[in-house]
Amino acid sequence: MFPVDEQMWMVTFSLNKPSPSEAYSEIDGMKVEVKENRGEVVVGFIQATDVDEARRKALLAANEFLSALSWRFGAHLAIKGQPPNVERIDPSGKKQIFLETQEGVAIGEKMIGVKKDASGYIVNVLDSQRLGKIDVKHSDAADFYRRAHLTDHPFEKFGNLYKVAENIADKIRIVKGHSRYSLEQAYGRRSYEMEVLQLALDECFGGNSSSLAGAAKGLLSSSDIQQPIPRIVEILYKANRCQIMHAKASGGKKVPFNPQDEKDVTAALPLMDFVAKSLLEYEQTLL
């Protein structure tokens, strides 16, 4: 039951392209759903007093849902700018999340099959296997991840992927109780941002950094392989993040339309994406 001055609503947003998957979830009591090959996301069972409140609640839930589909399953969808369709509905609904893809996959009560890459991420559907229920957990970092995959330019893509790492790294710093001083004592890098990132990678990968070194293949020297994290921090922060974000005439910088600069950033993208996904998984399970 809900207050008598509230009503139940359904809001439908148009997407930038048809969804490759069929999925639904409950977020804050609302049902959010996309259907295979349909270019819309539907948010139902919204308790709101008027159209504006319904639209606002629906937009927040839809984006949270789409961002979860982006980093977990590679379905990079965006809501188009046109006004949504808003309807009043009768209350009812389920409280689970499921996912289906074009190959007939379902995560939840149906049988599914997946193929995973070396990092553990789903890359293709094969034969039957049960995965179980999936919960959508709010994550600002997930929104940056989806934003990264809605652009083609390497600078913007890298910048948003780095924000994933920056956001979760700061959460890790807070949970671990580190201050600027304690990080300087631990790492002595004379760069607070680099120390926070190194803390996050140390916590995320622990004593097993072989997968991280593998993701940095081609970017590390042979002397860096055994202890790759310090060098990876330099690659991501100093060599790319800073040079993309800053443009002082006297400093190092990456310049748009410079073929070599764009090539260098593009080469670092697989590593940055791997770090972002790994930290998102860490956030979901340990933060």
pLDDT at 116: 45
Mean pLDDT highest for which of 60-64, 93-97, 105-109, 249-253? 60-64
Place of tokens 């957990």: 137
Predicted structure pTM score: 0.83
For residue 20, name the pLDDT band (cuts at 50, 70, 90).
confident
- Average pLDDT (242-254) is 93
Tell me the per-residue pLDDT of 49-92, one tens digit each, with 9 for 90 and over.
Answer: 999 999 999 999 999 999 999 999 888 999 998 899 999 987 65
Tell me the per-residue pLDDT of 175-214, one tens digit each, with 9 for 90 and over.
Answer: 999 999 999 999 998 899 999 999 999 999 987 889 999 9
